[in-house]
Structure 1
Amino acid sequence: MTSVSADRFADDYWSHKPLLSRAEELGQDFGDLFSLAAVDELVADRAIRTPFVRMADEGKLLDVSRYTSSGGFGAEIGDQLDSGKVLQEFAAGATLVLQALHRTWRPIADFTRDLVADLAHPAQVNAYVTPASSRGFDPHYDVHDVFVIQIHGEKHWKIHPPVHENPLRSQPWTDHSEAVARQAEGTPAIDETFRPGDVLYLPRGWIHSATALGGTSIHLTIGVSALNRWDVVQQLVAQSASDPALRSSLPLGFDATDAAALESLVQETVDALADQLRSSAERPDPIGDRLTRTLRDFTQPEPVSPISTVEALASLDDSAIVSWRQGLVRRIDESENQVHIVLAKRTVSLPGEAAAAVRSLASGEPTAATALVDLDADSSLVVARRLLREGILVLR
């Protein structure tokens, strides 16, 4: 998705500086991912509801009543996208934002799961549909990294260096709005027109704004909520709660205005915390587990087809091909006589002889339901049925 190698992107650009890759360098236009026709389908036919959609005009969000309504008899919920209202607002210059397309548009959902697997960071996708010569939002920065893919039309972007580097999710651009506005008046780092197939990588904190040119513009913004060192710090501090000294109460009558007493307390606490952090560094597995849970909590696995799966279970035979459900974050443990698939809120256990089959399936390779590793045909079918029913495997 960029014009440089994965290694060079990781070393020179990731979290450091923007990268604009032109369509001719990439050799693709992403038309199979999203399109103008896809926008019309989502607006007209999918009964999209808030907060999966919003509209803005010159940087200001419109009241939802201006573009939503009830769906009529049998669908009276009042926050459904109203295609007629959207037409009026879009024709008047408002930008349409389709949010969380990784949940509502299958090609983007599949693309996002693959991207998350490559990046090992959570990601989500919005589409910005802007009428001619319209600016959707004021200059601002995001608290997550983004990849911008121009899908349709042209849009002129201005990118400025950050005024607050590597912002956390709790540090929005509005905390620095005056500095952002001043920075946006300076010379841009990037001042370019994007055309279909162009891709921009933008680290969090970089200031940006965009204006559509000469016709409707559609671009995708892929937000990457990068796990960061502050996440590790928080996990380390949380782990330090196991130390009784760090859980102890302050002295009775402690006076926080007493400079000497406060200095002594802080120094004692820092020393105790440093000892605990050194101990945590020697056993980092719990922190790794917590970071894995964070990724899992922000990542949706591949959807399953519940009805057709249940229908297929009774007639499963050697023609059935199964594979691990993509994006399903898991841990596989083995005890003396069992293999355990540890999921977000439950653990699925199988006899120990299925361990090799489970580990092979977890690699992602499609496999015949009757030919799982180290199992005969009958045992393979038993394991395949169980894992299909548990939503761990899917039929291909």
Structure 2
Amino acid sequence: MVRDAGVRADAGVLESRLTGLGREEFAREVWGRLPSLTRGAGDFSDIFSSAAVDELVSRRGLRTPFLRVAKDGATLPEPSFTAPGGVGATIADQLDDTALWRAFADGATLVLQALHRTWEPVGTFTSRLATELGHPVQANAYVTPPQNQGFDAHYDVHDVFVLQITGTKRWLIHEPVVTAPTREQPWTGHRAAVAEAASGAPVLDTVLEPGDVLYLPRGWLHSAVAQGAVSVHLTLGVHPWTRHALAAQLAETALAALREDPAMRTSLPLGVDGPEGELDEIRARLVTALTTADPAPLFARTRRGQGRPAPLGPLAQLAALDALTDDTHVRLREALEPRLSGERLWTRAGWLDLAPADLPAVHRLLDGEAHATRDLGPALVRRLLRAGVLVPAAP
């Protein structure tokens, strides 16, 4: 599927920056089904650039595994591109920009990993996209010299959006050999099938130019070769929740309940050679536990653990506490994944038990909007600022 981007003024980043499709249309026509190419989606220089690559490699003191180096389908050993940090930085595995330059000049691809943690514009963008999609998103950048290829044909176990930043890259896309693979089904377990499928005619053979976006569902085979200039592309990896994952959490919740059943904790009879004779009762109890299990708390806890809240500056937070007045406006820190369960507020910054009198104010805060301290209560605001749950906001 190939399209030119079209943008509504009130569109989210999925529509305004990536696909030209709203979330519902994208979910109905594309999500998890087919590759989708959007020509001229936009200018991504505000998110990432060649200058950002140079700064990250040469000036930020990055360590492994924030960078991999690949050549001829294999990753190079970390000692070949890392070195001690020097006086005052007793760190043995910081990136060595000289070694990286030599490897790059020799045809190696630089892979900047977890950019959502090291480059603020990418972090902000991935956080917004994750909120829209309801699935965690991470980001890597691939920097490939002209006429070179970092990796052979393979598939990912997560969906990806490929944003071409600079240069051009030819992509060959083939149909999956494993449909919708999970983390436990990586391409390395199907090397022969992947190689055979990649030798056939591709479903899509295209050259991405700056501003183009390619969406690939997990499992679709792909390989890419830089063309006549250095290619920089950003890959946004979407790690989808699956029905299998939800089933696993349902089973885990049910098994936790069965641990509280004394009959299920009793030993099997002496001399038993197999499960026969016990399975009927165990199945019946397991079915009952599955029927009544509520995986929502475990789901929420796991989801919170898959991301981090928005950055929090300790000095700015202390200044906000010191300057707090009734007119100060505050809001929930972004990407907290808040969940109020009874009188306990769960967030990625930890949990807090609340007084019943504070619950109406906390319910108001959950709308994500800015609120005046006088409307919430100074004591509650101070507590939530100290906990890193609230941050100052413009009125």
Tell me if TM exceeds 0.5: yes
C-alpha separation between the residues in 2 aligned to 1:181 and 1:248?
51
Closer, same or farther in 2 for the Cα pair 1:209/1:33, shift >3 Å? Answer: same
1:8 is aligned to: 25
> How far apart are residue 384 of structure 1 and its match?
2.2
Of 314, 317, 322 in structure 1, the residue corresponding to residue 330 of structure 2 is 322
| 1:255 paired to 2:273 | yes
Query: 1:53-93 CA deviation, whole Å, 9 max, x = no partner?
Result: 11011111111122111121111311101111111111111
> How far apart are residue 344 of structure 1 and its match?
5.0
Q: Tell me the SS of whatever aligns to 1:117.
A: helix
| 1:178 paired to 2:192 | yes
8 Å Cα contact 1:151-1:220 kept in structure 2? yes
| 1:331 paired to 2:331 | no
Amino acid at match of 2:196: R
Q: Tell me the SS of whatever aligns to 1:215.
A: coil
Q: Tell me the SS of whatever aligns to 2:100.
A: helix
- Unpaired runs of 5+ residues, structure 1, are 281-285
8 Å Cα contact 2:82-2:94 kept in structure 1? yes
C-alpha separation between the residues in 1 aligned to 2:131 and 2:191?
35
Of 13, 17, 38 in structure 2, the residue corresponding to residue 21 of structure 1 is 38
Closer, same or farther in 2 for the Cα pair 1:176/1:267, shift >3 Å? Answer: farther
C-alpha separation between the residues in 2 aligned to 1:189 and 1:103?
34
Percent same amino acid at aligned positions? 45
Query: 1:193-240 CA deviation, whole Å, 9 max, x = no partner?
Result: 011111111111111111111111111111111111111211222233
> How far apart are residue 266 of structure 1 and its match?
5.6
Question: RMSD of the alignment, in Å?
Answer: 2.1
Q: TM-score, normalised by structure 2?
A: 0.88
Query: 1:302-336 CA deviation, whole Å, 9 max, x = no partner?
Result: 010112211331222356432111110122244xx
Closer, same or farther in 2 for the Cα pair 1:201/1:265, shift >3 Å? Answer: farther
C-alpha separation between the residues in 2 aligned to 1:343 and 1:300?
10
Q: TM-score, normalised by structure 1?
A: 0.88
8 Å Cα contact 1:246-1:273 kept in structure 2? no
The 5-angstrom pairing of residues 105-144 of structure 1 reads 105-144=119-158
| 1:354 paired to 2:358 | yes
C-alpha separation between the residues in 2 aligned to 1:75 and 1:101?
23
Q: Tell me the SS of whatever aligns to 2:149.
A: coil
Amino acid at match of 1:121: H
Amino acid at match of 1:207: L
Closer, same or farther in 2 for the Cα pair 1:95/1:319, shift >3 Å? Answer: farther
C-alpha separation between the residues in 1 aligned to 2:281 and 2:346?
40
1:164 is aligned to: 178
C-alpha separation between the residues in 2 aligned to 1:202 and 1:154?
18
Amino acid at match of 2:38: S
| 1:313 paired to 2:335 | no
C-alpha separation between the residues in 1 aligned to 2:316 and 2:348?
24
Amino acid at match of 1:277: L
| 1:276 paired to 2:289 | yes
Of 363, 380, 383 in structure 1, the residue corresponding to residue 380 of structure 2 is 383
Of 167, 176, 183 in structure 2, the residue corresponding to residue 153 of structure 1 is 167
C-alpha separation between the residues in 1 aligned to 2:216 and 2:126?
17
2:13 is aligned to: none
C-alpha separation between the residues in 1 aligned to 2:137 and 2:325?
37
The 5-angstrom pairing of residues 214-225 of structure 1 reads 214-225=228-239
May I ask how many residue pairs the two structures share in their alignment? Answer: 372
> How far apart are residue 345 of structure 1 and its match?
7.5
8 Å Cα contact 2:174-2:204 kept in structure 1? yes
Amino acid at match of 2:82: T
> How far apart are residue 346 of structure 1 and its match?
4.2
Amino acid at match of 1:273: L
C-alpha separation between the residues in 2 aligned to 1:254 and 1:345?
49
